[in-house]
Structure 1
């Protein structure tokens, strides 16, 4: 029996693998043939300036925008251009940029919307327990209209709603956007706690310093391409990250 090569071990342990992904909006190519993987149990950051293609990448993974070409494999099954509702049921969930809660519904009803694809009543009950353990304030405000929550509480609700589906991979798009510094710290503390609950995560985030404190690895994007990848310490030391934000060569 031949020995198993290291690259084979990494592929085998990848929860999600993306190959040659391209996303177009008309004539504009927002994502230009990128490759990446997300391994079970880790936090992966996607970093880069606005317009780099980060959010388009996450939206393509969950079927909110169509891939022009490329292949996505999740948990051993190809899911390329899958329907969002099917992908949620498979364990792939997005907490979108801007929160996008339902402001005229109660906190509890927003959370119920996140569990619409879960058939098992026991799993729904377990999800309720986990969300309220992570976010005690949501339990206190469960009958309150979501539109009356603070910005930080709305972000907690958006993440809690995503968790109600029991995701194996949670995609977080700009979770700290527009929040006060103290609340940003709470959001990143939450991300660490989610890891303790064995939630694998991919994060698009403009707060690079905070993101690299919690991430295991990351991909730096510029103009729709991945220009650098490495672990958190490598990303902190590379000039590629600074160039991606400041427009260097």
Structure 2
């Protein structure tokens, strides 16, 4: 990543687009404190979080649902969700998080005693997002939420993102499905070669040549 500059404002859905290797996931991992920041600064809720690690960031409200789901296969659905809420000490907040997640994902309540490793890919993705929501994030980052899912399930995931918008959840989304990402996003950034090469409202990005060029590897 070199010289990138971007912002995600409260209540927005912002998508990061680009071909494989463009730097999208690296950006998310740096924001979440999973990889060190080599230069520059990262600010979140008016605080400099540049050098903070993920275990410090989660209680502050910055949460990542990683690429590949990464649920704990040997734990039940309910136990996975509890892991997402481990930083929440307030009983009322925890209760509200359980209610929201089970309301958004009825299948998770239905299968709360099932081992996560035995669930379908789509159900595991719902669990990964639900687990991230259990902390009550101020900013939820989703890294490739539709990756490897059947088209029908992809539609369900983006329906869920639309529901999160209604609940005023602030979202940063890395996504290969350009059309659906721009359908739900307010704004977007197009990345190529570790740089941001285009940005703007989602509607405008649909029409820019920079989006096509980024995916085709053109200058």
Q: What is the CA-CA distance between 1:198 and the residue it aligns to?
A: 1.2
TM-score of the superposed pair, with normalisation by structure 1: 0.87
Q: What is the CA-CA distance between 1:105 and the residue it aligns to?
A: 0.2
Tell me whether 1:82 sits opposite 2:52 in the alignment: yes
Cα deviation code 1:201-237 (max 9, x no counterpart):
0000000001000000000000000000010111000
Pick one of 227, 232, 236 that aligns with 2:197: 227
Pick one of 181, 191, 207 that aligns with 2:177: 207
The corresponding residue for 2:168 is 198
Pick one of 106, 120, 123 that aligns with 2:90: 120
Structure-to-structure mapping, 1:166-181, within 5 angstroms:
166-181=136-151
The corresponding residue for 1:19 is none
Q: Work out the CA distance in 2 between the residues paired with 1:49 and 1:66.
A: 23
The corresponding residue for 2:126 is 156
- Segments of structure 2 that go 5 or more residues without pairing to the other structure are none
Cα deviation code 1:46-78 (max 9, x no counterpart):
000000000000000010000101101111111
Q: What is the CA-CA distance between 1:81 and the residue it aligns to?
A: 2.2
Q: Work out the CA distance in 1 between the residues paired with 2:55 and 2:164.
A: 23
The corresponding residue for 2:108 is 138
* Structure 2 counterpart SS, 1:70: coil
Q: Would the aligned equivalents of 1:60 and 1:81 in 2 still touch at CA under 8 Å?
A: no
For these two proteins, the number of residue pairs brought into alignment is 219
Q: Would the aligned equivalents of 1:91 and 1:166 in 2 still touch at CA under 8 Å?
A: yes
* Structure 2 counterpart SS, 1:45: strand
Higher RCO (C-alpha under 8 Å, 6+ residues apart)? 2
Tell me whether 1:50 sits opposite 2:20 in the alignment: yes
- Segments of structure 1 that go 5 or more residues without pairing to the other structure are 1-30
The corresponding residue for 1:27 is none
* Structure 2 counterpart SS, 1:203: strand
Q: Structure 1 segments of 4 or more deviating over 2 A? A: none
Pick one of 196, 202, 210 that aligns with 1:240: 210
* Structure 2 counterpart SS, 1:237: coil
Which is greater in Rg? 1
Cα deviation code 1:69-123 (max 9, x no counterpart):
1101111111112111110000000000000000010000000000011111111
Q: Work out the CA distance in 2 between the residues paired with 1:92 and 1:178.
A: 25
Taking only aligned residues, the RMSD between alpha carbons, in angstroms, comes to 0.5
* Structure 2 counterpart SS, 1:35: coil
Q: Work out the CA distance in 2 between the residues paired with 1:169 and 1:225.
A: 22
Relative to its length, the structure with more strand (as a share) is 1
